[in-house]
Amino acid sequence: MPGNGADTPDGARRLVRHALADRLLHWGMAISTLILLGTAFLPILGIEFAWVTIHWVSGIVLTVLVIVHTVRASFWQDLRSMWVDRADLRNTLQLARWNLRMSARPPGLPGKYSLAQKLIHHVFTVVGLAAIVTGGLMMVKIDTPWWDRNPYWLGEDVFGVIYVIHDLAALALITLVMVHIYFALRPEKLHFTRSMFLGWITRREYNEHHDSARWAVDAE
Amino acid sequence: MELFRVSRDVWGQEVLQGMSWDLIPFFFGAGAVLILCHLVYRWLLAPKGQPK
């Protein structure tokens, strides 16, 4: 492996993977998403409580966090680190060949994020935005501190489509959250999970799991 | 299994209310199947020295 510093004292050195602001955004989005799922599905499953206010307030919190994350990722971070590039596709092809025993050569290392991490991020983005936009439109039907409800703002047929998209997004989030948590708890991924709590990975982990040519990292 | 929830308006016409909640187990099951498939792949099929 190129530049493997696993056996050197330098291997334990901490490198920044997620800044504090990004970790707070991640956990804020995670908590608000879980509250949204809980307030959406628990009443359907028979656990009844006054869920509407908690649901739309959490939706607004999630919307604000997503906007802040988008602005921060666009102007203060390297947006390309989340973009699927040719090297990802090349590595995926090689991964398939390696798994099918068509090649003895393992695939190359990813940059900051693997293709799987990029894809689940993008699916979360599409599904989350669908839920946020439709949820925002549905809010015209409830009283808020900013406006009185107006159930006739859009026709019932249009609201029907909005409900379907919102429900589909919510249902898809069940699957996505399950898969996301499963991979976060996989033994070989725990250093990623730790970095989402504490912010850092070690130089050893960096050398073992990342291509330094694709992700230049800062020391803590 | 119904795909959609529908109701009737005051004129008796069907009004779409959203996706059927009968689909909740399907989406939960899809997550469970994906996890199970990956577990089986890692335990039985993945080559030694699988990249992490």
Tell me, yes or no, whether A106 lies in a domain: yes
Looking at the predicted structure, is the pLDDT value of residue A1 above 50?
Answer: no
- DSSP secondary structure string, chain A? -TT--TTSGGGG-EEESS-HHHHHHHHHHHHHHHHHHHHHHTTTTT-----HHHHHHHHHHHHHHHHHHHHHHHHTS-GGGGS--HHHHHHHHHHHHHHTTS-SSPPPP-SSS-HHHHHHHHHHHHHHHHHHHHHHHHGGGS--SS----TTSS-HHHHHHHHHHHHHHHHHHHHHHHHHHHHHHSGGGHHHHHHHHHSEEEHHHHHHH--TTT---EE-
Tell me, yes or no, whether A219 lies in a domain: no
Mean pLDDT across the stretch A20-39?
98
Mean pLDDT across the stretch B32-40?
97
Mean pLDDT across the stretch A114-120?
96
Structural domain count of chain A: 1
Range of the domain at A189: 9-209
Q: Residue A126 phi/psi, 5° resolution?
A: -65, -50
Q: What is the CATH number of the domain that holds A61?
A: 1.20.950.20
Tell me, yes or no, whether A43 lies in a domain: yes
Tell me, yes or no, whether A89 lies in a domain: yes
pLDDT of residue A2: 42
Task: Report the residue of A163, A166, A189, A190 to disrupt the B interface, i.e. the one with the largest count of B CBs within 10 Å.
Answer: A163
- DSSP secondary structure string, A144-174? -SS----TTSS-HHHHHHHHHHHHHHHHHHH
What residues have CB less than 8 Å from A82, skipping those under 6 apart?
A: A73, A113, A118, A121, A122
pLDDT tens per residue across span A168-177 = 999 999 999 9
Tell me, yes or no, whether A162 lies in a domain: yes
Looking at the predicted structure, is the pLDDT value of residue A187 above 90?
Answer: yes
pLDDT of residue A136: 96
Tell me, yes or no, whether A135 lies in a domain: yes
Option in B35, B45, B47 nearest A179 (CB): B35
Copy the structure tokens of residue A86: 């040719």
Tell me, yes or no, whether A4 lies in a domain: no
Tell me, yes or no, whether A216 lies in a domain: no
Please tell me whether the interface predicted TM-score (ipTM) of this complex is above 0.85: yes
- A→B interface, C-beta within 8 Å: 41, 44-45, 95, 98-99, 101, 106-107, 109, 156-157, 160-161, 163-164, 166-168, 171-172, 174-179, 182, 188-189, 208-209
pLDDT tens per residue across span A79-90 = 999 999 999 999
